[in-house]
Structure 1
Amino acid sequence: MEKIRDRIEARFEQWARWVFENRYKTFVFMMVAIGILLSNLPQITIDTSTEGFLRDDDPALLAYNDFRDQFGRDEMVIVAIKPDDVFDIGFLKKLKALHNELEEKVPHLDDITSLINARNTRGEGDELIVEDLLENFPANDDDVAKIKKRTLSNPMYKNLLISEDGKFTTIVIKTDAYSSEGENVDMLAGFNEGAGPISQEGESERKFLTDAENTEMVTAVRDVIARYDGDDFPIILAGSPVFTNDLKKSMMKDMRKFMVMAIIAISLLLFAMFRRVSGVVMPLFVVIVSLLSTVSVMAIAGTAIKLPTQILPSFLLAVGVGDSVHILAIFYYRLQKGDGKEDAIAYAMGHSGLAVL
């Protein structure tokens, strides 16, 4: 066993000497390789969804995906408004304008419901009338009073489109279940004359709404409601898509903040340990480039950063700096003993290379 270890350490020494002799070529090659990797960094995705905790083949996730196939996405954006008076002509006009603009400008929207288009089913004489609640927009206070009575007496509206006390009203936005990337699948293909049934493989090509599309949708909603929000029209935004988007932003903000704090703390400790600028710059350069390269490889592989893996940057920083300290401590020690740079590097790699690996 000792002989095997001695051989491995000797190989590390040989490799270190070869790199030292070809340091400029090695540096250029590494910079080109790292540059290619980092070019993929913008493609990294972040998944803060609950499904991100599960493997793709997890039975619970497969069952949930089957549910979404049959019934659509069960996540909604709630736009809640609390004016001085819900049943005021001026407010209802503004609510209608907001409803229409959301319907026009929000992408990946499957359905939108508010008092403006809520289904109103009632009987008048021998007739059954089905219409939108505000299909005939009120022109005076008497019309508003009728709509108020009709609204508050309908149990289907209470605690969904209007609060029980009539002070809150909402716009409920249901998002698409599927990503627009799957729109190339012809849903009527199976009904064409002479066409066979739609294959399972074709159905599986459709992706559920992606994190990027969820962000696009929430951003569009926020852009629209920002033009209406005010003291006389206070808006509160809620719903799981909004929570997921805000959680992602918060996670990214925290990752950046703690990364900066960690780098500052590590820099101070490295300087206190080595008392050299090179003892600070070299380890940090190596670990930061390694971290960015790792995230780039995740982007290339299509692996998203998820809540359980958000610790990865801090973990890589700690491990990478620890490895660098092992190598540099021995390197500087051998320099002080009178070794040349090549011999000091070779000795440090032979001594700690296997342990670091």
Structure 2
Amino acid sequence: MVTMSEAAMSRPGRAMGLAAFLSVVLIALTAVPSIWPQAVPALHGLKIDTDPENMLADDEPVRLFHNRMKAAFSLNDLIVVGVVQEDHPQGVFNPKTLGEVYRLSQAAETLTWDEEDGPAGVIAADIIAPDKVDNIDQAGLGSVSFNWLMPAAPETPEAAQAVRDKALALPMLDDTLVSGDGRALALYIPIREKNDSYRVAAALRDRIAGFDSDATYHITGLPIAQDQFGVEMFKQMAISAPAAMALILLLMWLFFRNLNLVLSPMVVAMVSVIGAMGLLIATGQTVHIMSSMIPIFVMPIAVLDAVHILSDFHDRYPQIGDRRKTVRAVMEELWRPMLFTTLTTAAGFASLAITPIPPVQVFGIFVALGVIFAWAATVTLVPAYIALMPERAFERFRRDAADVAAHPEHIGWLGRLLQGVGGVAYRRARLVLALFVAAVAVAGYGISLIAINDNPVKWFRADHEIRVADRALNERFGGTYMAYLHLGAAEPRTVASVAGDLRERLAALDSAPARRLAERLDQQTETATDPQALLDDLAGWVADAQAAAGDADWQAWEDAAMAVERAAQAGDVFKDPAVLRYVAQLQAALEARDDVGKTNALPDIVKTVHRELLGGEDQAFRIPDSAGGVAQTLITFQNSHRPQDLFKLVTPDYRQAVVWLQLTSGDNAHMRAVVDATEAYMAQNPPPRALDHDWFGLTYINVVWQEKMVAGMAKALTGGFVAVLILMTLLFRSPLWGLLSMVPLTVTIALIYGVIGLVGKAYDMPVAVLSSLSLGLAVDYAIHFNVRSRQIQQRLGDWHAALTHVFGEPARAIARNVIVIGAGFTPLLAAPLVPYQTVGALISAILVCAGIATLIGLPALITLFRRWLFADAPASQPAQRRA
């Protein structure tokens, strides 16, 4: 490393020019595919993905099942448009507001466009809005009429109120389309792809802007939150990162009072970020929610070593008087700790590659690369930058040193503070150790309180329009978070099972037609491959035989035909009244929970149509007693304007069904509680027929990927911790010094996560990933402190005397880093995106905790165990030459 620095100082212009050239090349490579796609096919342009579904691998079973079920039931992601009107006596159900709703619905179905890969935007046929759904009403005994709920915008208050009353009478619309108090209604806009949501929402907002009623319009839903986050994510990157760098620059200037000199860490940070992000984009990796934060993580790490160099240079230059010789002396002393801090930090982030979450893997790998780029840039560009500066630029360092020499009391507030800290750590070592043990014990209790939870909508600040819409609509409706419970026949419907069932039915008839049909069944079974085709063939054969037999055996053939029909119906699990009653009971159990606002399933359609078939009386709102009665309701419903809605709840073979759940919260903890409650209910109340069940939907997928992330992060943290310990042991050639170096890291992680548990902050994605940053930053200070302590102890031979020197320049460099980087990232606290706020707060907290643990905890421990720690120091760590 010293050789690299020497070479950079010898040809500083070449070093700076090479860094600039490589940066420009990386930027150009990322732009080439956008400007000239055929230029270099191996290169890739910028690709953005904010879909949490892609936190899971493409072949993840839950993701495959989710997509398979969406296709089976023709389900799509939804944008929810809520309309609320509190002040009007009729709520939203007045002619003016319903006229706006009607126009908005009509406009929504036009929001389709053609993309290269096919149509995009809104799926017009599946919009759920007052003018797009049926009112189901009785039309005389045994007859049902289907008319549009709102065929046109109502012109009178009475007509508007009629829309509300009709909707409230339909269980599928009550608390879904219309709020129970009549003050609000919701439109559900299905979209083909989640990344269509931002454009669709923007078009809807443009139309809403032209309305002049007093109603308030809200747009929300998980697709909106995810797409909106992607848009704001890049705005935030463009604001927060420069703001953080500007504050870091100001703080470094306050310490060193040399603007030209403190620009060098900014150059290092810029080159490192360009290197990491340029490679990310050029190699075809997607900029996901995680990878958008790579610059925020690389910047503080890139500045750390540069501040150590500048701090040591600042203190040594007055003694040496030549910038090149000073840089050489600084690099000879710092090369070992800087190399190992780079390796440990890179190892901490690279450990994320073993998590089962692809975007986290990419994040960890490219931050690790950014750390390595930062090391290379630091050891070359900082010396080169200093070499390009004239000697007169450092005269202030001489004057400051002369002033301190003449007036020791002028060492400044930081110097005085550090001298006091060093004295306390030496004299009160046992007390310091006891306080650290007590703090870790309290932190352990806090860690036990940590709740694992996340919610993409909560990635926005509480006053963001998406959060406001989320609260407003979930207070009034069954919920805007969709989850789906799949129910399916546990026993597969095979040719053998169908044939066996039909043989039993024919044997019970004991008639000549039944025996002839059984013979036909045996013949056909030998070649049949599809059970439904076999039954269709037998039904046709029976019809022909019955027609040929005449009146003599008509009834016997009719019985045989009924046996075939019942064998066919036996496979229609979700025409079985007992099964439908069970599903209805399960719905009731789920709706009794506070976190489930509403469910919709096949029994709701069956009971509603049955009620209207029997004259609209309340007592007829039930499941029919026979499979034939159920079939009649289903056939009747298929005469509606939206027959496709039936098959969003059940498959055409009636062997799979889905329960739609509207949740009032998108928190993973609430979704997990619903899943657990469902498992418990079905275990305690077995269904009348064997049913398999599983979950899908975005709300459930968020639970799965976060649970995988938590388990993966725990594994990565453990692996990273072990890797860092091994590196520490190799660095110091002593297991004891290796363990000592892990103390600040261990204390920092314990305290940070302990406080998170104590204050009730959820363990979410940013919190989980920041554990890797703890590995790098916390051990950085320990390495510098321990290496310099051993060097000075070997030179002086007395720990007390050495401690005074350690709390000079080495401790000042650490303290300056804590202040500069810790305060430098506070601008992130003002970000409108909560993950950025979390990152800003925790980076600052990690640095402060690591700094305190290093500057107070390590000297106290060394003081208490110095007899063992320094017993083999000369053998394990030869003294370094000092200039």
Aligned to 1:291: 273
Specify the alignment match of 1:129 in structure 2. 145
SS in 2 for 1:99: helix
Q: Specify which of 187, 199, 202 is matched with residue 219 of structure 1.
A: 202
User: Is the CA contact (8 Å cut-off) linking 2:79 and 2:197 kept in structure 1?
Assistant: no
Deviation at 1:39, TM superposition (A): 3.8
Aligned to 2:122: 109
* CA deviation profile, 1:296-340 (whole Å, cap 9, x unmatched): 332233434444455432321111111223444566677652446
Deviation at 1:112, TM superposition (A): 1.6
The more displaced of 271-280 and 96-105 is 271-280
Matched with 1:281 is 263
CA separation in 1, counterparts of 2:33 and 2:239? Answer: 19
The match for 1:168 among 151, 159, 184 is 184
Native 8 Å contact 2:277 2:294 kept in 1: no
Partner of 1:64: 66
For the residue of structure 2 that corresponds to 1:120, the secondary structure is strand
Residues 39 and 332 of structure 1: CA distance in aligned 2, closer, same or farther (over 3 Å): farther
SS in structure 1 of the partner of residue 81 of structure 2? strand
**Please, which of 237, 240, 245 is the counterpart of residue 222 of structure 2?**
240
2:135 to 120, 135, 147: 120
Pick the structure with greater CA Rg.
Answer: 2
Secondary structure (helix, strand or coil) at the match of 1:121 reads strand
Give the number of equivalent residue pairs: 314
Q: Please tell me whether the aligned partners of residues 269 and 299 of structure 2 are also in contact (alpha carbons under 8 angstroms).
A: yes
Partner SS for 2:109? helix
**3-state SS of the aligned residue for 1:113?**
coil
Q: Provide TM-score, normalisation by structure 1.
A: 0.71
Tell me, what secondary structure is at the counterpart of 1:80?
strand
Amino acid at match of 2:205: R
Judged with a 3 Å threshold, the aligned counterparts in structure 2 of structure 1 residues 64 and 151 are, in CA distance, closer, same or farther, namely: closer
Distance in 2, matches of 1:274 and 1:140, equals: 76
In structure 2, relative to structure 1, the CA distance for the partners of 1:129 and 1:320 (3 Å cut) is same
Name which of 8, 12, 22 aligns with 2:4: 12
State the partner residue of 1:50. Answer: 52
AA in 2 matched with 1:164: G
- TM-superposition CA deviations, 1:231-271 (whole Å, max 9, x none): 52321222212222444456556555543442233113322
Decide which moves more: 17-26 or 317-326.
Answer: 17-26
Q: CA deviation at 1:66?
A: 3.2
Tell me if structure 2 keeps the 8 A contact 1:48–1:306. yes
Distance 2:269 2:95 in 1: 62
Report the secondary structure of 1:129's partner residue. Answer: strand
Q: What residue in structure 2 maps to residue 89 of structure 1? A: 95
Amino acid in structure 1 at the alignment position of 2:67: N
2:28 matches 1:36: yes
Q: Which amino acid counterpart does residue 285 of structure 2 have in structure 1?
A: T
Where does the alignment leave 5 or more consecutive residues of structure 1 unmatched? 1-8, 179-208
Q: How much does 1:133 deviate?
A: 1.9
Distance 2:271 2:16 in 1: 18
Higher helix proportion, which one?
2
> Do 1:218 and 1:245's aligned partners in 2 also have CA atoms closer than 8 Å?
no
Are the counterparts in 2 of residues 12 and 346 from structure 1 also a CA contact under 8 Å?
no
Q: Aligned pair in 2 of structure 1 residues 56, 144: CA closer, same or farther (>3 Å)? A: closer
Give TM-score scaled by structure 2 length.
0.32
Q: In the alignment, residue 265 of structure 1 is paired with which amino acid?
A: L
Distance 1:57 1:14, change over 3 A: farther
Q: Please report how far the alpha carbon of residue 108 of structure 1 lies from its aligned counterpart in structure 2 after TM superposition.
A: 1.3
Match of residue 79, structure 1, among 78, 81, 84: 81
Q: Is the 8 A contact 1:40 1:296 kept in 2?
A: no
**RMSD of aligned C-alpha atoms?**
3.7
Q: Counterpart in 2 of 1:5?
A: none
Structure 2 regions of 5+ residues with no counterpart? 35-44, 113-119, 340-374, 376-883
SS in 1 for 2:22: helix
- Aligned in 2, Cα 1:122/1:243: closer, same or farther, shift over 3 Å? same
Q: CA deviation at 1:215?
A: 2.4
Identity of counterpart residues, as a percentage?
A: 23
Go from structure 1 to structure 2 and tell me whether the alpha carbon gap of 1:260 and 1:116 turns closer, same or farther (over 3 Å shift). same
